[in-house]
Chain A
């Protein structure tokens, strides 16, 4: 049986000789109390590829990202990052894997007692002891410049807008030059112009850094803009996985309804 990753992707095709899975989720189940949130989800992401995970609220999209980064553990199934199954890893070993991932949280999750610059420097302070203070400051300034916030270095998170917080979160996620970028609702709660700016920024960063990305969103327009492939979740499972055109051609009622209402 053919699997999703064997099919053609919409945008820039990843290098053929570089087709190692960076993220591999196999038959993952997750239950909270009496609620089964994920019911056998399988997804794979290639190096340099962007997968958008779509679906209604409460269908387990964010849970899926939290499982991938090891903030939660699946009831069954496996999650592999760069070929390494993260189940049962010690906190230190899991930490080594996490250093290869950048995570943008839905509400940015900036440390509110630190300035914007300190937020971006946080992963560097803790994991790049080899950098001098000057080198670290340079890198922070460069990251903030990449997201267009070079003038916000000394501002506190509560002094900047939601869109700017997302940008800072993105800069922080990129600080350790990750191989995998996980984005949880990067455009949620933003006006259309800010959403477009975030989408453009993500595309630019993908081009420059060549990371594998998983974007959880229910913004179909954003997903279509930034992703090579889309996966639609419903009732804890992947209903369909493919390009936007594949979704359009799909005859499943839920898929059609989702596209129509999005």
Chain B
């Protein structure tokens, strides 16, 4: 209906303020809530992954942002990862030594340290440390951008946030995790040797020769490169948690916590699967 100079809608009456609630639908309070939430979470993660994959493989490529993330995720995580690797190497050396001494097999100590550190301890410790540092960082940063509408502003500027924010961080995690693992391994072995040589002096050369005797690359490369999968998990979970955040400061806190918890959990679960897979493929 129109009036002179303006239009008047007949669809409304000035009674109730704000949005109108719809009638509740049957089953909205279903006891399947947590289960359906779980399926919804994984379903949305799948959709998110597809969007990121599409964005990552199509131009324009965000090279500058990728370099920034490589620095942020890689070089800035290095001290923490190196320290964690060194601590694990020292502890392993002390613990294994007492067991080996009991069985009169102290000559096998270098090999035990090398294989333990390189095959399992280095990769998993790197995965967990990066989950904590980078997962929380990405989750909180993206969540903060989401609740302050910065991600919406990016989309409104016709810039794809899946490409600029998510793909760059996930690719950086995938590329940096194996390198950080090598650093953790190196520090672990160095501290393992140091801990041993304080008790029973042995040169570094002897330690390495003894530790790596009989070992080939197939013992070391698969465990190192499996951390690329850890990187994928950490980047994907943290970006997903961050970019789906709602609810202001509390939402940002939740996103950071959930990013760390879920990324760590999935890294450990993935490790179980990958170890089995590596044993099957490289018997």
- In the complex, what distance in Å separates the CA atom of A106 from the CA atom of B14? 26
Q: Does A95 contact B (CB under 8 A)?
A: yes
A101 touches B14 (CB 8 A): no
A241 with B157: in contact, given A56-B17, A58-B18, A109-B150 (CB under 8 Å)? Answer: no
A35 with B20: in contact, given A4-B7, A127-B158, A240-B8 (CB under 8 Å)? Answer: yes
- In the complex, what distance in Å separates the CA atom of A123 from the CA atom of B145? 17
**Of all chain A residues, which has the CB nearest B2?**
A2
**Beta-carbon contacts under 8 Å, A211-262 to B:** 234-243, 245-247, 249-250, 252-255, 257
B148 touches A109 (CB 8 A): yes
Per-residue 0/1 for A131-159: is the Cβ within 8 Å of any B Cβ (1 yes, 0 no)? Answer: 00000000000000000000000000000
- In the complex, what distance in Å separates the CA atom of A126 from the CA atom of B150? 16
- In the complex, what distance in Å separates the CA atom of A54 from the CA atom of B1? 20
Cβ of B24 to closest chain A Cβ, rounded Å:
7
**Of all chain B residues, which has the CB nearest A235?**
B12
A239 with B9: in contact, given A56-B18, A91-B160, A95-B160 (CB under 8 Å)? Answer: yes
**Beta-carbon contacts under 8 Å, B239-267 to A:** none
- Residues in A with CB closer than 8 Å to B4 are 246
Cβ of B245 to closest chain A Cβ, rounded Å:
15
- Residues in A with CB closer than 8 Å to B17 are 56, 58-59, 234-235
**Beta-carbon contacts under 8 Å, B50-100 to A:** 60
Residues of A in contact, count (CB < 8 Å): 64
B19 touches A99 (CB 8 A): no
- In the complex, what distance in Å separates the CA atom of A67 from the CA atom of B5? 27
Partner of A3, one of B7, B60, B154: B7
Q: Does A36 contact B (CB under 8 A)?
A: yes
Q: Does B47 contact A (CB under 8 A)?
A: no
**Of all chain B residues, which has the CB nearest A256?**
B14
Cβ of B50 to closest chain A Cβ, rounded Å:
12
- In the complex, what distance in Å separates the CA atom of A253 from the CA atom of B149? 36
Q: How many inter-chain residue pairs (CB < 8 Å) link A and B?
A: 149
Q: Does A193 contact B (CB under 8 A)?
A: no
- Residues in B with CB closer than 8 Å to A31 are 22
Q: Does A196 contact B (CB under 8 A)?
A: no
A257 touches B14 (CB 8 A): yes
In the complex, which range does the number of interface residues on chain B fall in? 35 or more
**Of all chain B residues, which has the CB nearest A10?**
B5
Q: Does A96 contact B (CB under 8 A)?
A: yes
A39 touches B8 (CB 8 A): no
Cβ of B276 to closest chain A Cβ, rounded Å:
39
Partner of A7, one of B6, B22, B148: B6
A35 touches B159 (CB 8 A): no
**Of all chain B residues, which has the CB nearest A66?**
B152
Partner of B14, one of A1, A99, A238, A252: A252
Per-residue 0/1 for B16-42: is the Cβ within 8 Å of any A Cβ (1 yes, 0 no)? Answer: 111111111000000000000000000
Q: Does A21 contact B (CB under 8 A)?
A: no
Q: Does B3 contact A (CB under 8 A)?
A: yes
A243 touches B19 (CB 8 A): no
A71 touches B14 (CB 8 A): no
A250 touches B8 (CB 8 A): yes
B19 touches A237 (CB 8 A): no
B11 touches A39 (CB 8 A): yes
- Residues in B with CB closer than 8 Å to A109 are 148-150, 152-153
B12 touches A105 (CB 8 A): no
Q: Does B156 contact A (CB under 8 A)?
A: yes
A239 touches B12 (CB 8 A): yes
19 interchain pairs (CB within 8 A)? A35-B21, A37-B19, A56-B17, A71-B156, A96-B158, A99-B158, A101-B156, A109-B153, A111-B154, A122-B159, A123-B157, A176-B157, A234-B12, A235-B18, A235-B20, A239-B12, A240-B9, A241-B7, A254-B12
Query: When A and B form their complex, which 3 residue pairs have the shortest distance between CB atoms, in order from nearest?
Result: A242-B6, A254-B14, A246-B6
Additional A-B contacts beyond A242-B6, A246-B4 (9; CB < 8 A): A58-B17, A95-B159, A106-B149, A111-B153, A172-B153, A236-B19, A246-B5, A252-B14, A254-B13
Q: Give A contacts to B, CB under 8 Å.
A: 1-4, 7-8, 31-32, 34-37, 39-40, 56-60, 66, 69-71, 91, 94-96, 98-99, 101, 103, 105-107, 109-112, 122-123, 126-127, 172, 176, 234-243, 245-247, 249-250, 252-255, 257
